[in-house]
Structure 1
Amino acid sequence: MSTQPLSSTPTGRAGMGERSSLLKLFLIRGILAVAWAVAFSSVQGDKADLGSGAVVLLVAYPLIDAVSSLIDYRATPGGSERRVTAFNGALSTLAAIALALAGAGGLEAAFHVFGVWALVSGIAQVIVGLRRRGPELGKQWPTLISGGLSFLVGITYNIQAAGDNPSLAVLSVYATGGGVWFILQAVLLGWKSRQLRTRTV
């Protein structure tokens, strides 16, 4: 790696800008996920039926992800991860619409839709994490682990939705876990920025 400051080259400036944007985005995204989990748990709990408040929150969660993907897309300078981020944003928007419709069909339908979205978006997250691995943004382990867990959880949710007594209470755990991984990725990006600044001194 060059000993010149990152800001002395176009690539370095882009790397610093992307790290800063992603750090803020991941931190806010993580906090919102944890806040959503608390709100959803208080509204839905272990109820067997979906209330209007729970449906609103179910729709809001993928919409948060869609807006985050849009911000991420605009902050990413280029590359295949930008296309995957755009795909994930479109997917989350469709998931929000599908959840709004599925809410009228009951808990099982909403659970299925959420599970499919978690599965596919998990794959997209893993792909983005793999594309971003490198000296500028680190090894992306929190993103990769979070995406992999989302994929597995999505499969589990669809199995549970087909069972006798599905419960949406697990979604609060899902959102909390996702929020923690986002916050951890933000912390690691901050540490990476400090490490790179130290090397240029």
Structure 2
Amino acid sequence: MPWTVPALLVVYPLIDAAASLIDYRATPDGSERRVIAFNGLLSTLAAIALCLAGVGGLAAALHVFGAWAVVSGAAQVIVGVRRRGPELGKQWLTLISGRPSFLVGITYNLQAAGDHPSLDVLSMNATGGVVWFILEALLLGWKSRQLRARAV
């Protein structure tokens, strides 16, 4: 496996960890903030584990990525459900992206356990994840500006 594949696999959870840090700083204390902190820590640990798993080959990297996707997707769903109020944009994009992450993570692990592990599903999911991530950031930015404008 070329070195670029594990490198790209590591970048994905690092971006999620950075987004979690930003989200954590913007979220008031409470159980939702703890879930965001958990997701950020999980993503950081996943990046480290992917560095190590990349040495073991594609199947090992897919197993780690799949486990991260399952747990991280579940955390996204929890945050999305808790933020369903109008003040934070009803977080429907988080719910939409979290559920497939959970399900696709299971698929990664099944592929990794098979005879011919492949990154085909991973590349499609990563592309979709990037699109949802950008849409969510735009929506949150728009909602944040609306809240600030109302407060003035």
Q: Residue 174 and residue 82 in structure 1: after superposition, are their counterparts in 2 closer, same or farther (change >3 A)?
A: same
Q: Residue 118 of structure 1 contacts residue 153 of structure 1 at CA under 8 Å; is this kept in 2?
A: yes
Structural RMSD (CA): 2.1
The residue correspondences of 1:16-165 to structure 2 (distance < 5 A) are 50-165=1-116
Rounded Cα–Cα distance in structure 2 between residues aligned with 1:75 and 1:196: 13
Give % identity: 77
- 1:180-199 matches, within 5 Å, as 180-189=131-140, 192=143
Q: 1:188, 1:128 → 2: CA distance?
A: 15
Q: Mind listing any 5+ residue stretches in structure 2 that lack a counterpart?
A: none
After TM superposition, give the deviation of residue 183 of structure 1 in Å.
Answer: 2.3
User: Tell me, what secondary structure is at the counterpart of 1:82?
Assistant: helix
Which runs of no fewer than 5 residues in structure 1 stay unpaired? Answer: 1-49
2-structure distance, mates of 1:199, 1:77: 19
Number of residue pairs the alignment of both structures matches: 152
Q: TM-score, normalised by structure 1?
A: 0.68
Q: Which has the higher contact order (CA 8 A, sep 6+)?
A: 1
Rounded to whole Å, the distance in 2 between the matches of 1:185 and 1:68 is 11
Mapped to 1, the partners of 2:28 and 2:146 lie a distance apart of: 22
TM-score by length of structure 2 reads 0.89
Change (3 A) 1:176 1:138: same
Bigger radius of gyration, 1 or 2? 1
Q: Distance in 2 between matches of 1:193 and 1:75?
A: 10
